[in-house]
C-alpha cells in the first residue's frame, strides 16, 4: 500500500497521521506533501522520521492520496494527482457537489465509494457530525424536515483558528483588547453567527453545505433542511442542536434504541445525572455523542437531540481514513 498525504503539516494532516497509526492502517510506503513553506519539515510516523515534500503539480505515484490542501488547490490538481491511477480522497469542498464524484460517509453510503472516477469527496465537518446521528433515525422513521443550529469550534478554521483563540484569550486575560484576523470579530468570550460567505438567500455557505451535502449523501433530494451555523470559543469538537420531523411515529425511547445500535454513535443521554454530549467529552473520540433526545413539543411527530463530535476526526481525518479502508 503506497499512501500519500497532501497537506500533511496542517491540523487535519496531523490528525490523518494519528488516525492511520491508531487504526493500524496498512502502509508500506508513505509520502508527505505540503506547501512550499512547509517543505523540508520532518514528521514522525511509526517510529520513522519522514521529510515533507512540496505539493506536486504532476501525477502522484501512489495507490491512495489523502488530500487536505484546500479547495482551490484540490480543484486545480486532484485530477492530475490521480491521472496515473491513484485514488484521491479529498477533504476540501472542491468536489463535493460534482455529480460525478461520490460524497461518502462509510457508516451511511459506502457503496457510493465504488463508483468513483479517481476522486472521492469527504463531507464538510458539520454535515458529517450531524449525518452520522441523523441517518439511523431517518432510516427508521423517515425524516421529512430538519432544523439544526450549530456550535462550531475554532478548529473548523484550521490550526490558525485554534491559535487565534488561544492567543487572543491570553491577550484578554492580560488586560489587552483582543483582536484577530481569522474570524470576523474577536472570538474569546464571544459567539459569531457567521461561518463562510453569505449567499443570496440569506444563509451562509457553511449552512447551505449542510443542506446540499446531507441530501446528496442520503439520496434524499427533497428533504427539507434549514441550518444556522455559529462559531464558538472552543478548540475542537462541533456541537449541533437538531429538531427533526418524521413521517413515521417516533418516540424518544425508540430513537435511543436505534442510535444505541448504530455505528459511529455513542448515546450519552442521562440528564438526571448531568450526562449529555459536550465538546469536552467528544474531543479526541471517534464516535459522535448524541443525547438530550426528547419529544418536540412544538411539532407533531418530531424529536429534538443534541450531538457533539470531533471536527478534526469524524468531521475530517477519521472519515477520510475510513473511506480509504474501504479499498484495503
Considering the domain architecture, whether residues 80 and 199 belong to the same structural domain is answered as no
Residue-level pLDDT at 4: 98
Contact (CB, 8 A) for 93 and 124: yes
| DSSP one-letter code for 294 | E
Considering the domain architecture, whether residues 93 and 139 belong to the same structural domain is answered as no
| Cell numbers standing for residue 319 | 472519515
CATH of the domain at 43: 3.40.50.720
Contacts of 173 (CB under 8 A, 6+ apart): none
* SS3 call for 69: coil
Q: How far, in Å, CA of 252 to CA of 235, rounded?
A: 31
CA-to-CA separations, 254 to 32, 103, 237, 273, in angstroms, rounded: 46, 29, 27, 21
* Helices and strands per DSSP (H, E), number in the chain: 8, 14
Task: Point out the residues that are catalytic.
Answer: 125, 238
Considering the domain architecture, whether residues 178 and 272 belong to the same structural domain is answered as yes
Q: What is the pLDDT of residues 145-166, one digit of tens each?
A: 999 999 999 999 988 999 999 9
Buried b / exposed e across 181-198, counting CB within 10 Å, b at 16+? ebbeebbbeeebeebbee
3-state helix, strand, coil in the chain (%, to 5): 35, 25, 40
Residue-level pLDDT at 92: 93
Q: What is the pLDDT of residues 181-197, one digit of tens each?
A: 999 999 999 999 999 99
Considering the domain architecture, whether residues 80 and 171 belong to the same structural domain is answered as no
Q: How many domains does the chain have?
A: 2
Considering the domain architecture, whether residues 73 and 189 belong to the same structural domain is answered as no
| pLDDT exceeds 90 at position 1 | yes
Query: Which residue matches cell numbers 477519521?
Result: 318
Considering the domain architecture, whether residues 237 and 290 belong to the same structural domain is answered as yes
Residue-level pLDDT at 11: 87
Q: How far, in Å, CA of 104 to CA of 107, rounded?
A: 9
Residue-range definition of the domain harbouring residue 134:
127-311
| DSSP one-letter code for 34 | E
Residue 290: strand pairing partners? 267, 307
Considering the domain architecture, whether residues 36 and 132 belong to the same structural domain is answered as no
Span 290-315, average pLDDT:
97
Span 168-192, average pLDDT:
96
Q: What is the pLDDT of residues 10-65, one digit of tens each?
A: 989 999 999 999 999 999 999 999 999 999 999 999 999 999 999 999 999 999 99
137's enclosing H/E stretch is helix 125-141
CA-to-CA separations, 157 to 164, 236, 283, 292, 300, in angstroms, rounded: 10, 10, 16, 27, 37
Considering the domain architecture, whether residues 298 and 164 belong to the same structural domain is answered as yes
Residue-level pLDDT at 141: 98
Considering the domain architecture, whether residues 111 and 245 belong to the same structural domain is answered as no
CA-to-CA separations, 251 to 141, 244, 247, 256, 303, in angstroms, rounded: 10, 12, 12, 9, 8
Q: Model pTM? A: 0.94
Q: What is the mean pLDDT of the chain?
A: 97
Considering the domain architecture, whether residues 148 and 91 belong to the same structural domain is answered as no
Considering the domain architecture, whether residues 144 and 34 belong to the same structural domain is answered as no
Per-residue pLDDT band at 129 (split at 50, 70, 90): very high
Per-residue pLDDT band at 265 (split at 50, 70, 90): very high
N- to C-terminal Cα distance for the chain?
Answer: 8
CATH of the domain at 217: 3.30.360.10
Considering the domain architecture, whether residues 188 and 261 belong to the same structural domain is answered as yes
Contact (CB, 8 A) for 65 and 92: no
Residues above pLDDT 90, as percent of the chain: 97
Amino acid at each position: 500500500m503506497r499512501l500519500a498525504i497532501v497537506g500533511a503539516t496542517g491540523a487535519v494532516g496531523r490528525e490523518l497521521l494519528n488516525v492511520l497509526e491508531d487504526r493500524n492502517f496498512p502502509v508500506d510506503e508513505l509520502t508527505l506533501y505540503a506547501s512550499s513553506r512547509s517543505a523540508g519539515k520532518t514528521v514522525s510516523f511509526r517510529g520513522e522520521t519522514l521529510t515533507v515534500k512540496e505539493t506536486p503539480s504532476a501525477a502522484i505515484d501512489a495507490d491512495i492520496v489523502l488530500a487536505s490542501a484546500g479547495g482551490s488547490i484540490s480543484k486545480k490538481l486532484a485530477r492530475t494527482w490521480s491521472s496515473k491511477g491513484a485514488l484521491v480522497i479529498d477533504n476540501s469542498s472542491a468536489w463535493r457537489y460534482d455529480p460525478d464524484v461520490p460524497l461518502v460517509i462509510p457508516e451511511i453510503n459506502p457503496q457510493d465509494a465504488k463508483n468513483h472516477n479517481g476522486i472521492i469527496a469527504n463531507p464538510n465537518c458539520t454535515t458529517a457530525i450531524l449525518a452520522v446521528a441523523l441517518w439511523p433515525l431517518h432510516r427508521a422513521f423517515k425524516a421529512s424536515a430538519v432544523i439544526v443550529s450549530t456550535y462550531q469550534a475554532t478548529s473548523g478554521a484550521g490550526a490558525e483558528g485554534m491559535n487565534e483563540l488561544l492567543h487572543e484569550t491570553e491577550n484578554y486575560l492580560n488586560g489587552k483588547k483582543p483582536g484577530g484576523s481569522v474570524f470576523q470579530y474577536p472570538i474569546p468570550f464571544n459567539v459569531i453567527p457567521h461561518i463562510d460567505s453569505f449567499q443570496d438567500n440569506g444563509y451562509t455557505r457553511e449552512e447551505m453545505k449542510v443542506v446540499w451535502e446531507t441530501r446528496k449523501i442520503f439520496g434524499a433530494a427533497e428533504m427539507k433542511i434549514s441550518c444556522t451555523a455559529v462559531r464558538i470559543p472552543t478548540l475542537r469538537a462541533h456541537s449541533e442542536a437538531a429538531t427533526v420531523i418524521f413521517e413515521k411515529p417516533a418516540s424518544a425511547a425508540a430513537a435511543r434504541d436505534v442510535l444505541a445500535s448504530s455505528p459511529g454513535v455513542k448515546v450519552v443521554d442521562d440528564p438526571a445525572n448531568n450526562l449529555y454530549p459536550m465538546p469536552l467529552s467528544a474531543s479526541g473520540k471517534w464516535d459522535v455523542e448524541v443525547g438530550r433526545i426528547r419529544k418536540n413539543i412544538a411539532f407533531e411527530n418530531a424529536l429534538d437531540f443534541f450531538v457533539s463530535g470531533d471536527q478534526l476526526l469524524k468531521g475530517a481525518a477519521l472519515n477520510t481514513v475510513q473511506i480509504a479502508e474501504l479499498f484495503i
